[in-house]
Chains A and B, each alone.
Chain A
Amino acid sequence: MLRRFLQRPEGVAGLVLLAALVLAALAAPLLFPGDPKAITGAPMIPPFSDAAFPLGTDRLGRDLLAGLFHGARTSLLVGGAAALVAITGGMLVGTAAGFAGGLIDEALMRVVDAFQIVPGFLLALAFVSVTGPTLTAVVIAIALAAWTAPARLARAEVLRLRRAEFVAAARTMGEHPWRIAFRDILPLALPPVLALAAVIVANAVLTESALSFLGLGDPNAVTWGGMIAEGRNQIRSAAYLSVIPGLALVTTVISIYLCADALAEAMSGSRR
Chain B
Amino acid sequence: MSQFTFGRRQVLGLWAALMASAAMPGIAWAAQGGRLLVASDSEPRSLNPAIVASNGVFFIASKVIEPLAEAAYDGLRPLLATGWEGSEDGLSVTFHLREGVSFHDGKPLTSADVAFSAMKVWRALQNIGREVLANLQDVETPDPLTAVFRFSKPMPLQLIENALPVISAVLPRHVYEVEDIAGVTALVGTGPFTFAEHRPGEYYLLKRNPSYWDAGKPLLDEIIYRVLPDRAAAASSLEAGEVQLACFSAVPLTDLARIAKVPGLEVVTKGYEALTYQLVVEINHRNEHLAKLPVRQAIAHAIDKEFVTRTIFQGYATAATGPVPATATQFYSPDVETYAFDPEAANRLLDEAGYARGADGTRFTLRLLPAPYFTETVQFGDYLRQALAAVGIDARIVANDSAAHQKAVYTDHDFDLAVAPPVFRGDPAISTTILVRSGISAGVGFSNQGGFVDEGLDQIIDEALVTLDPAARVALYNQFQRRVTEELPLINVADWTFTSVAATSLTNIANNPRWAVSGWADTELDG
**A residues lining the B interface (CB < 8 Å):** 35, 37-39, 43, 59-61, 129, 132-133, 215-216, 219-220, 232-238
Measured CA separation A38–B255 after assembly (Å): 24
**Known contacts A43-B311, A59-B311, A234-B254; is A37 also within 8 Å of B382 by CB?**
yes
Q: Is the CB of A60 within 8 A of B311?
A: yes
- Please name 26 pairs of A and B residues whose Cβ atoms are closer than 8 Å in the assembled complex, sorted by A: A37-B382, A37-B386, A39-B386, A43-B311, A59-B311, A59-B379, A60-B311, A60-B312, A60-B382, A60-B386, A129-B404, A132-B399, A133-B399, A215-B372, A215-B378, A215-B399, A219-B397, A219-B399, A232-B232, A233-B231, A233-B252, A233-B255, A236-B232, A236-B235, A236-B236, A237-B254
CB-defined contacts of A38 to chain B, threshold 8 Å: 386, 389
CB-defined contacts of B372 to chain A, threshold 8 Å: 215
Q: Is the CB of A132 within 8 A of B386?
A: no
Q: Is the CB of B255 within 8 A of A236?
A: yes
CB-defined contacts of A215 to chain B, threshold 8 Å: 372, 378, 399, 401
Q: Is the CB of A60 within 8 A of B383?
A: yes
Residue of A133, A216, A219, A232 with highest tally of chain B CB at under 10 A:
A219
Closest to A221 in B: B397
CB-defined contacts of B312 to chain A, threshold 8 Å: 59-60
CB-defined contacts of B258 to chain A, threshold 8 Å: 236-237
Q: How far is the CB of B60 from chain A (nearest CB, A)?
A: 24
CB-defined contacts of B255 to chain A, threshold 8 Å: 233-234, 236-237
Q: Which of A129, A132, A235 contacts B232 (CB 8 A)?
A: A235
Q: Is the CB of A220 within 8 A of B232?
A: no
Measured CA separation A90–B379 after assembly (Å): 39
Q: How far is the CB of A238 from chain B (nearest CB, A)?
A: 7
Interface size class for chain B? 20 to 34
**Does B396 touch A at the CB level, under 8 Å?**
yes
Q: How far is the CB of A55 from chain B (nearest CB, A)?
A: 18
Measured CA separation A59–B375 after assembly (Å): 12
Tell me the chain B residues, 341-378 only, with Cβ under 8 Å from chain A: 372, 375, 378
**Does B12 touch A at the CB level, under 8 Å?**
no
Closest to A38 in B: B386
CB-defined contacts of A232 to chain B, threshold 8 Å: 232
**Does B444 touch A at the CB level, under 8 Å?**
no
Given contacts A59-B312, A215-B372, A233-B375, 11 further A-B contacts (CB under 8 A): A38-B386, A38-B389, A43-B311, A59-B311, A59-B379, A60-B382, A129-B401, A132-B398, A219-B399, A236-B235, A237-B255
Q: Is the CB of A35 within 8 A of B386?
A: yes
Measured CA separation A203–B397 after assembly (Å): 27
CB-defined contacts of B32 to chain A, threshold 8 Å: none
Kindly supply a per-residue 1/0 record for chain B positions 380-421, scoring 1 wherever the CB is within 8 Å of any chain A CB and 0 otherwise: 011101100100000011111100100000000000000000
Closest to A43 in B: B311
Q: Is the CB of A59 within 8 A of B254?
A: yes
CB-defined contacts of A60 to chain B, threshold 8 Å: 311-312, 379, 382-383, 386
Measured CA separation A38–B312 after assembly (Å): 15
Kindly supply a per-residue 1/0 record for chain B positions 311-342, scoring 1 wherever the CB is within 8 Å of any chain A CB and 0 otherwise: 11000000000000000000000000000000
**Does B257 touch A at the CB level, under 8 Å?**
yes
Tell me the chain B residues, 254-297 only, with Cβ under 8 Å from chain A: 254-255, 257-258
CB-defined contacts of A233 to chain B, threshold 8 Å: 231-232, 252, 254-255, 375
Q: Is the CB of A219 within 8 A of B398?
A: yes
Measured CA separation A132–B400 after assembly (Å): 7
Measured CA separation A210–B378 after assembly (Å): 18
Measured CA separation A43–B379 after assembly (Å): 13
Measured CA separation A233–B312 after assembly (Å): 13
Measured CA separation A234–B407 after assembly (Å): 31
Q: How far is the CB of B384 from chain A (nearest CB, A)?
A: 11
CB-defined contacts of A132 to chain B, threshold 8 Å: 398-400, 404
Q: How far is the CB of A36 from chain B (nearest CB, A)?
A: 11
Q: Is the CB of A234 within 8 A of B252?
A: yes
CB-defined contacts of A35 to chain B, threshold 8 Å: 386, 389
Measured CA separation A43–B310 after assembly (Å): 10
CB-defined contacts of A61 to chain B, threshold 8 Å: 311
Residue of A37, A38, A39, A132 with highest tally of chain B CB at under 10 A:
A39
CB-defined contacts of A39 to chain B, threshold 8 Å: 383, 386
Q: Which of B252, B375, B396 contacts A220 (CB 8 A)?
A: B396
Closest to B252 in A: A233
Measured CA separation A234–B232 after assembly (Å): 8
Q: How far is the CB of B143 from chain A (nearest CB, A)?
A: 55
Q: Is the CB of A220 within 8 A of B401?
A: no
Q: Is the CB of A37 within 8 A of B311?
A: no
Measured CA separation A263–B209 after assembly (Å): 71
CB-defined contacts of A237 to chain B, threshold 8 Å: 254-255, 257-258
Q: How far is the CB of B27 from chain A (nearest CB, A)?
A: 44
Q: How far is the CB of A46 from chain B (nearest CB, A)?
A: 13
Closest to A40 in B: B386
Q: How far is the CB of A123 from chain B (nearest CB, A)?
A: 17
CB-defined contacts of B382 to chain A, threshold 8 Å: 37, 60, 219
Measured CA separation A115–B254 after assembly (Å): 42
Measured CA separation A61–B372 after assembly (Å): 21
Measured CA separation A170–B335 after assembly (Å): 88
CB-defined contacts of B252 to chain A, threshold 8 Å: 233-234
Kindly supply a per-residue 1/0 record for chain B positions 228-267, scoring 1 wherever the CB is within 8 Å of any chain A CB and 0 otherwise: 0001100110000000000000001011011000000000
Measured CA separation A233–B256 after assembly (Å): 11
Q: How far is the CB of A114 from chain B (nearest CB, A)?
A: 26
Q: How far is the CB of A226 from chain B (nearest CB, A)?
A: 10
Measured CA separation A97–B385 after assembly (Å): 48
Q: How far is the CB of A237 from chain B (nearest CB, A)?
A: 5
Closest to A34 in B: B389
CB-defined contacts of B400 to chain A, threshold 8 Å: 132
Measured CA separation A129–B254 after assembly (Å): 29
Measured CA separation A215–B401 after assembly (Å): 9
Measured CA separation A232–B235 after assembly (Å): 13
Closest to A234 in B: B254
CB-defined contacts of B375 to chain A, threshold 8 Å: 233
Closest to B304 in A: A39
